[in-house]
Amino acid sequence: MTLLALSLSILLAACKPDAAPIAPADAAAPAAVAPAATPSATESAAPAAGAGAGAMCAHADFDAFLPQFGRDIALQEKSVSDPLISERYDTQGDEPTLVSEKVPLSDVGWPVMPNPSGLKDMGREMQVSRQDDGSMKVLIRTPDTSNQQSYYFAQRPCWQLVRMADESI
- Using one digit for the tens of pLDDT, what is the confidence trace for 94-105? 898 999 999 999
Give the pLDDT score at 56. 82
Beta-carbon-side half-sphere exposure of residue 27 (alpha carbons within 13 Å): 6
Give the pLDDT score at 140. 98
How far apart CA 7 and CA 147 sit, in angstroms, is 46
How far apart CA 60 and CA 43 sit, in angstroms, is 20
The full set of domains in the chain, from first to last, is: 2-47 (no CATH), 62-166 (3.10.450)
Q: Count other Cβ atoms within 10 Å, centred on residue 120.
A: 10
How far apart CA 144 and CA 158 sit, in angstroms, is 34
Amino acid at 114: P
Q: Is the peptide bond before 111 cis (omega within 30 degrees of 0)?
A: yes
Is the pTM of the predicted complex or chain greater than 0.75? no
Residue pLDDT, tens place only, 46-56: 334 444 555 58
How far apart CA 97 and CA 167 sit, in angstroms, is 11
Residue pLDDT, tens place only, 105-156: 999 999 999 999 999 999 999 999 999 999 999 999 999 999 999 999 999 9
Give the pLDDT score at 169. 84
28-36 vs 2-15: helix axis angle to the nearest 10?
A: 40
Q: Say yes or no to pLDDT of 166 above 80.
A: yes
Give the pLDDT score at 55. 59
SS3 content of the chain, % helix, strand, coil (to 5): 40, 25, 35
Q: Say yes or no to pLDDT of 73 above 50.
A: yes
Give the pLDDT score at 93. 86
How far apart CA 19 and CA 98 sit, in angstroms, is 52
Q: Are 146 and 168 in contact (CB under 8 A)?
A: yes
